[in-house]
Structure 1
Amino acid sequence: MNELAADSLQLDERHLRVLEAVLFASTEPLDVHSLLTYVGEGADIASLLVTLQQRYAGRGVNLVQRGDKWAFRTAEDLGFLLRREDEETRPLSRAALETLSIIAYHQPATRADIEAVRGVATGGGTIDLLMEAGWIRMRGRRRTPGRPVTYGTTDAFLDHFGLESLGDLPGLEELKGAGLLSNRLPPSMQIPLPFDGALRDDEDPLDPDDQDGEDESA
């Protein structure tokens, strides 16, 4: 191995150690842009992350991807050993589970979209609860009369449910079998492609005066 190659390998190892330390110390998943600030713009961050992920495969903790972010998480087969007690012990209501499932599979979804699938009115508190949990967010406004707010899932949703992307969501039949969705589903209800968060053609950006709470227009 020549001197140049040896120096390059040594630099990669240093970068790997830096990424390892930063990801271990972070309480939340980090995106590539955030990680680049620690290793420098010239680093091949994608290759480094894959290398680090391979090194931790089969260990007690694994490097996982959640959307466009990365984090260390307990290996799935050992998760039962380290379950933390949630501060909020009250489980999600059936309405909240149904609402979350509909938004995940049908985003961008408005409150009217959710009610059309469920067949019943959706209370503002249900959406507020999911937003407070950090699992859904206001995306934009639909280009229809009343300009209702559209909702989508977040990276925190992916992280909580152990998903790399929305493409890893279980099939609709599995959800219906688990009782999380009604059998009355519209023909347009499909499993989405991995979602990058960009507004779609039928959405406008949120208004400056939009609040973080539930939108009343439907």
Structure 2
Amino acid sequence: MAARSTKTRRDNGDGQRPLLDRELDHLPPEARWREWMQRVEATIFAASEPVTRSVLARVVGADCNLDLLIDDIREELRGRPYDLVAVAGGWKHLTRPTYADAIRAAMGGSEKAMDLTQSEVLVLMCVAYFQPITRAELSSFFGKEISRDFIGHLRGAKLIASGPRSPTPGAPYTYVTTKEFLLEFGLDTLRDLPDFEALEDAGLLSKEKLLAGDIPMGIAGGEDDGEDEQPSVGLVDDAM
């Protein structure tokens, strides 16, 4: 729990907390910048989820350039075992990959990344690049039935969610990636996905390679998934 500041918690006599002085005009420029850096880093450190630009703007002055401020914080963290990383639409403190083995050893493996099969990664890749996409479209792409159980497992891991109903006959659900997907793969937005055409041109990815994945055969079902849940909003990137 963050320590309480006597100054910031003292009310104005009318039961209202005083507004935070964001501009800090009484401080010289260097001291003002330093205070903004510390406020931003403290806010990100205290948060359990990535902190967005709009949230950080609440603790700095109107003329503060948050991108430059973040750059200065990251420069100071250069020699530390953790960094400030843009992920899932905000910023978050993340440990550097080189210390992953040490963290797993200390935490008894509880901090290891989500255990995904090759099949799950391949399906997730298709959802990420071609969302919103239906289960039937996924099955058609791989030439194999993608079962409801398979989709349900990815939904249970919160890596995909139901998107809007497809305009195709039967109005099946589509699927989209989620904020948890971005966090799991260290992406800020879907724009950070490697360019699909560039991967194909480089020979690193092709439909044939995707089809080579061991996608399990599911139980055949009608195109109308018959799911009762309401569609939830996924992170469909307009640029994709």
Instruction: Return the TM-score normalized by structure 1.
Output: 0.68
Shift of 1:210: 1.4
Q: Note closer, same or farther for the CA distance 1:54–1:109 as it changes in structure 2 (3 Å cut).
A: farther
Q: Do structure 1's residue 31 and structure 2's residue 52 form an aligned pair?
A: yes
Q: Distance in 1 between matches of 2:57 and 2:161?
A: 26
Q: Do structure 1's residue 181 and structure 2's residue 210 form an aligned pair?
A: yes
Q: Distance in 2 between matches of 1:30 and 1:145?
A: 41
Query: Of 151, 154, 164, which residue of structure 1 is paired with 2:178?
Result: 154
State the number of aligned residues.
Answer: 184
Query: Of 10, 15, 22, which residue of structure 1 is paired with 2:31?
Result: 10
Show the 5 A alignment for 1:117-128: 117-128=141-152
Aligned equivalent of 1:189: none
Q: Note closer, same or farther for the CA distance 1:128–1:87 as it changes in structure 2 (3 Å cut).
A: farther
More displaced stretch, 60-69 vs 120-129: 120-129
Aligned equivalent of 2:127: 103
Q: Distance in 2 between matches of 1:89 and 1:37?
A: 32
How much identity, in percent, do the aligned residues show? 28
Q: Distance in 2 between matches of 1:142 and 1:41?
A: 43
Q: Distance in 2 between matches of 1:90 and 1:64?
A: 19
Shift of 1:107: 1.9
Show the 5 A alignment for 1:190-205: none
Aligned equivalent of 2:70: 49
Q: Gaps spanning 5+ residues in structure 1: where?
A: 185-208, 213-218
Q: Do structure 1's residue 141 and structure 2's residue 165 form an aligned pair?
A: yes
Tell me the secondary structure at the aligned position of residue 139 of structure 1: strand
Tell me the secondary structure at the aligned position of residue 28 of structure 2: helix
For the 8 Å contact 2:88–2:188, the answer to whether it is kept is yes
1:83-123: CA deviation from partner (whole Å, max 9, x where unpaired): 35249999434543332121122222221221111212222
For the 8 Å contact 2:158–2:181, the answer to whether it is kept is yes
Aligned equivalent of 1:78: 99
Q: Distance in 1 between matches of 2:81 and 2:113?
A: 27
For the 8 Å contact 1:134–1:156, the answer to whether it is kept is yes
Q: Note closer, same or farther for the CA distance 1:107–1:6 as it changes in structure 2 (3 Å cut).
A: same
The residue identity in structure 2 corresponding to 1:143 is P
Tell me the secondary structure at the aligned position of residue 33 of structure 1: helix
Aligned equivalent of 1:61: 82
The residue identity in structure 2 corresponding to 1:106 is F
For the 8 Å contact 1:109–1:150, the answer to whether it is kept is yes
The residue identity in structure 1 corresponding to 2:211 is S
- Larger Rg computed on CA atoms: 2
Q: Distance in 2 between matches of 1:46 and 1:90?
A: 30
Q: What value does the CA root-mean-square deviation take over the aligned residues?
A: 3.4
Q: Gaps spanning 5+ residues in structure 2: where?
A: 1-24, 214-228, 233-240
